Structure 1
Amino acid sequence: MGTARRLAPLALALAVAVVAPFGATAAAQPNDQPTYQPQPDHRRLRILITNDDGWIGPGGSSTPLIVALRNALVADGNDVTVVAPATNQSGTGTLITYPTVNLANPEPGVWTVTGTPSDAVIVGLGALFQGAPPDLVVSGINPGGNYSSVVNHSGTVGAAIVALENNVPAIAVSIDGKTLDQSVALKDRVAEYTSDVVAALARNARGNAVLPQGLGLNINYPGTTPVKGTSLTRVDRNSYIRFGFTNTTGALGQPGTYALTLGGPTGPPTPGSDWSALQAGKISITPIDADLSANPRGAARVPFLENLTP
């Protein structure tokens, strides 16, 4: 199915999900409290939730954001199964562990794997759902934004991509908190927002898949309050953070130890992008898929390819 054909029903679904719950303009209310009241008419969804920070400590005590997400989705009447890494796996993208991982069941409804978020989704779908896939995979809530080129390296987004590869609708959720404490302070608000979006998508689906086949959502919630609305965005080609390495022993370009460095942006935010929306204090919702092919019409401008027919 072409991208344009998939985006049409997605736009309709998002209009319900991000406008209806929070008013016609999706504007922030006093104290950033949504006016939406949960409605009981959406169907109960079977949801697998995961993240890249793991489920760590009794009751997830050391990873409170995934706990908040689980609690909000359960409170809204969904059947939720947690399948998360047993240790922090931030920045692992779509990495898959080879050849084996261990699956454990530390508490009711919670499973952990000795691997990555991708492993958690693959094992969860294959071993726990056993041919009866869930209605939705939700990955998060990540303490820190996953937008612009960082989405290519995010374990949170990577888990959603793997779900899409397995034909299961998926949503990735992150908070653009500048500190861990800032993200933790917003966890319940973002968990409730995510649950409201899921409920609205389920109502709009009318018994069908909650998202068009092969398409997922990457949600980034600003770390500032009050929130000034919600924007449907694209991934910014510039990056808000530059990755690099520098030597800590020996001479540059010679054998030795190199440490990861995080530098400044590669350029300013592009209008209409996820980064631009967050800079404006808005929630960013970016459609994503697992298909990495570029638009063939754009590629046709490249010499050698220009004579090929899209």
Structure 2
Amino acid sequence: MRILLTNDDGIYAPGLRVLRQELLKLGTVTVVAPATEQSAAGHSVTLLNPLLISEVLDDDGHTFIGWAVEGRPADCVKLALLELLPERPDVIISGLNAGSNAGINVLYSGTVAAAIEGAFYGHTAIAVSLEYDKKIYDFPTAARYARKVIEQILACNPPPGSLFNVNIPVLERGPIKGIKVLPQNISPYTEKFDRRVNPRGRTYFWASPEFLCPDPHPGTDVEALAEGYITITPLKFDLTDHTRLAELQRREWHLE
């Protein structure tokens, strides 16, 4: 199996490195990932600057693992598929992200955006994220869970262009209770800003790292993640509201 691995935390992120080791048990792994952290970059792409790339070696200093790209996660997948990879990958994996990408966060996530880009091109793509609590990450254990979930998703023989979002709960809370396939929660998160004044008297703001979902809704990914379940959510990138579309198409429209 040929695997393309990317992320939004950067090619040197520990989550990507440990997930790569697990994925090597499934096949060959080529990494094409941002040179620097691109968290919450969403689906932005680079148009006005060149996309510089550089080869990256494993920690042994000898084994080639892939390319670092001076760009966004979506840029990385585009370059990988159109320019860098000699063969079409069988699956695209994005992660292992430091922090969950459940609920409405999929709209901001560079991790999910990279997977979406792969699905655009007709590849099965899976985004994988690890929830955190007080910045504690057990990446090796989470990577093993991630590999098991990825294996089971691929065993379902999803059609080309299939897209999945996987979230692993905080492992320090206790044993994983199981795996649930659930819809995305669409409730807005509570966000805060820290207002400050610099030495020159200019006001500035720091976005708080705490994103809380006050309404997790029963039967959604956010609720199950909080209860200690790994969640799988099939996604699609067709944003058309088909119910409203049909309603509007029945109307008569006029220019005057």
Q: TM-score, normalised by structure 2?
A: 0.84
d(CA) in 1 for partners of 2:100, 2:145: 16
Residue of structure 1 equivalent to 2:214: 267
Q: Is the 8 A contact 1:72 1:192 kept in 2?
A: yes
d(CA) in 2 for partners of 1:264, 1:137: 28
Structure 2 gaps, min length 5 = 58-63, 252-256
Give how far 1:126 is off: 1.1
Pair 1:101 & 2:47 matched: no
Residue of structure 1 equivalent to 2:74: 118
Aligned residue among 11, 16, 20 for 1:66: 16
d(CA) in 1 for partners of 2:187, 2:167: 16
Identity of aligned residues (%): 33
Matches within 5 A, 1:96-245: 96-99=45-48, 100-107=50-57, 108-130=64-86, 132-181=87-136, 183=137, 185=138, 187-205=139-157, 211-223=158-170, 224-239=173-188, 241-243=189-191, 245=193
Residue of structure 1 equivalent to 2:60: none
d(CA) in 1 for partners of 2:15, 2:213: 30
Structure 2 CA distance for partners of 1:200 and 1:267, relative to 1, 3 Å: closer
Q: Is the 8 A contact 1:214 1:289 kept in 2?
A: no
Q: Is the 8 A contact 1:238 1:265 kept in 2?
A: no
Aligned residue among 231, 240, 243 for 1:284: 231
Give how far 1:79 is off: 1.0
SS of the counterpart of 1:101? coil
Q: Is the 8 A contact 1:93 1:158 kept in 2?
A: yes
Letter in 1 for 2:74: S
Residue of structure 2 equivalent to 1:17: none
Q: Deviations for 1:186-228, whole angstroms, at most 9, x for unmatched residues?
A: x1222122222333344443xxxxx223321100011032111
Residue of structure 1 equivalent to 2:61: none
Letter in 2 for 1:169: T
Residue of structure 1 equivalent to 2:250: 307
Q: Deviations for 1:206-258, whole angstroms, at most 9, x for unmatched residues?
A: xxxxx22332110001103211111111110113x3345565349xxxx9534
Structure 2 CA distance for partners of 1:273 and 1:203, relative to 1, 3 Å: closer
Give how far 1:128 is off: 1.6
CA RMSD between the two structures: 2.4
Q: Is the 8 A contact 2:119 2:125 kept in 1?
A: yes
d(CA) in 2 for partners of 1:191, 1:264: 24
d(CA) in 1 for partners of 2:150, 2:185: 25
Give how far 1:266 is off: 5.5
Q: Deviations for 1:155-196, whole angstroms, at most 9, x for unmatched residues?
A: 111111111111111000011111332x2x2x1222122222
Q: TM-score, normalised by structure 1?
A: 0.71
d(CA) in 2 for partners of 1:225, 1:192: 16
Structure 2 CA distance for partners of 1:213 and 1:293, relative to 1, 3 Å: farther
Structure 2 CA distance for partners of 1:115 and 1:217, relative to 1, 3 Å: same
Give how far 1:98 is off: 1.9
Matched pairs, number: 240
Give how far 1:288 is off: 0.9
Letter in 2 for 1:248: R
Letter in 2 for 1:234: P
